[in-house]
Amino acid sequence: MTDTPLPAAAGLGTFERWLSVWVALAIGAGLLLGNLVPGVFSALAALEVASVNLPVAVLIWAMVYPMMVGVDFGALRQVGDKPKGLVVTLVVNWLIKPFTMAALGVLFFNYVFAGLIPPDDAQAYLAGVILLGAAPCTAMVFVWSNLTRGDATYTLVQVSVNDVIMVFAFAPIVAFLLGVTDIVVPWDTLLLSVGLYVMLPLLAGYVTRQNLVRKGGEAAVDAFKARVQPFSILGLLITVVLLFGFQGEVILEQPLVIVLIAIPLLIQSYGIFFVAYGAARAWRIPFNVAAPCALIGTSNFFELAVAVAISLFGLGSGAALATVVGVLVEVPVMLSLVAFANRTQHWFPQEKGTT
């Protein structure tokens, strides 16, 4: 298994580095427009088929599809080359993270913030953070891995394995956790969302990747991703504008709600990182595997969480709002953890042998 890091160009670009700023500006635009032209947002909300909002579906596909083109299922052949890091990744992502996120959500929204948030809103925010906790990162982890000089092939393997698991595990885990917290689960809409926003984009990405590789190899794949990436970020920002346009009145009446939602998300992000990072250190996993295996669990597939929240609970729901707050906090949190990992890489073995 090679240990060649991703090229420098795959690092965090200027636009991505300031993603939280662009998201904040999109939030402001959404709040302003939602109050100035509420009729436009009402008309967009009405464009639904089978509980799927069509404008948002197009935007979510614009976000997710470029990521899926980057998934190389051929990497699954190397799944056993570095098993320790993969074990940590899978245990944290699927046996710990969804359940700690749900527990923190219950703690804060049902108890700590009980006097600050109406009960119905609290349940909606809880549903949103559960969706975030059950969706491990599939794309930005390549950036975080590169910034820590992580093993690029290992990173690809862990993302590919997580994507395969997500197809089968996301819906049952979400349904279980929503049921435990007494939130009604519309199974048909949940399964439709997983099919629409995970399985179909994954299939489309696979077909596209195969065609590109036949024509020009990995260079053609990289060039294609570079061309479509702006549409992915634009889709995210327009989705944020729509979500906050629908939430405008509620947020202006309760401006602290964003901070309250962010608190359990911040605790979860840092907590999950240190669980995975500590396990990797205790198991003496080399740093170039330890860093990406800890970072993938910390980062979220927020595009999927946003899409499913909208499908399950609606564009103007508190659940959708909570998933967007996850976007707002993610980039600064991840950059701080990348910096911490780089400063503490001497804690780990540096040899690049099989782990």
Q: What is the pLDDT of residues 109-166, one digit of tens each?
A: 999 999 898 898 999 999 999 999 988 876 667 767 777 888 877 877 887 788 788 8
44-76 pLDDT, tens per residue? 877 776 666 678 778 878 777 876 787 777 766
Query: How many of the other CB atoms lie within 10 Å of CB of 255?
Result: 9
- Position 200 scores a pLDDT of 83
- Position 158 scores a pLDDT of 82
- Position 184 scores a pLDDT of 65
Pairwise CA distance, residues 289 & 3, whole Å: 9
255 pLDDT above the threshold of 70 = yes
Answer yes or no: are the C-beta atoms of 100 and 130 closer than 8 Å: no
6 pLDDT above the threshold of 50 = no
- Position 250 scores a pLDDT of 66
> Which span out of 135-149, 151-165, 282-296, 316-330 was modeled with the highest average pLDDT?
282-296
Band (pLDDT 50/70/90 cuts) for residue 315 is: confident
173-209 pLDDT, tens per residue? 998 998 887 776 667 766 776 777 777 888 888 899 8
Band (pLDDT 50/70/90 cuts) for residue 91 is: very high
Comparing 169 with 353, which gets the higher pLDDT? 169
- Position 294 scores a pLDDT of 92
- Position 354 scores a pLDDT of 42
Say if domain 20-345 classifies as CATH 1.20.1530.20.
yes
Answer yes or no: are the C-beta atoms of 332 and 138 closer than 8 Å: no
Answer yes or no: are the C-beta atoms of 158 and 293 closer than 8 Å: yes
CA neighbours within 13 Å on the CB side: how many for 156?
20
Q: Cβ contacts of residue 239 below 8 Å, gap of 6+?
A: 56, 59, 60, 63, 306, 324
229 pLDDT above the threshold of 80 = no
Span between the terminal Cα atoms of the chain, in Å: 11
Report DSSP state, residue 96. Answer: I
Percent of the chain with pLDDT strictly greater than 90: 24
Closest among 137, 130, 110 to 260, alpha carbons compared? 110
Q: Looking up tokens 């949940």, which residue turns up? A: 190
The residue type at 80: G
- Position 52 scores a pLDDT of 66
The mean pLDDT value for 88-103 works out to 94
Distance of CA 199 to the CA centre of its chain: 16
What is the reported pTM? 0.74
Task: Give the range among 30-44, 64-78, 102-116, 330-344 with minimum mean pLDDT.
Answer: 64-78
The mean pLDDT of the chain is 81
- Position 266 scores a pLDDT of 96
Pairwise CA distance, residues 39 & 308, whole Å: 24
Comparing 98 with 145, which gets the higher pLDDT? 98
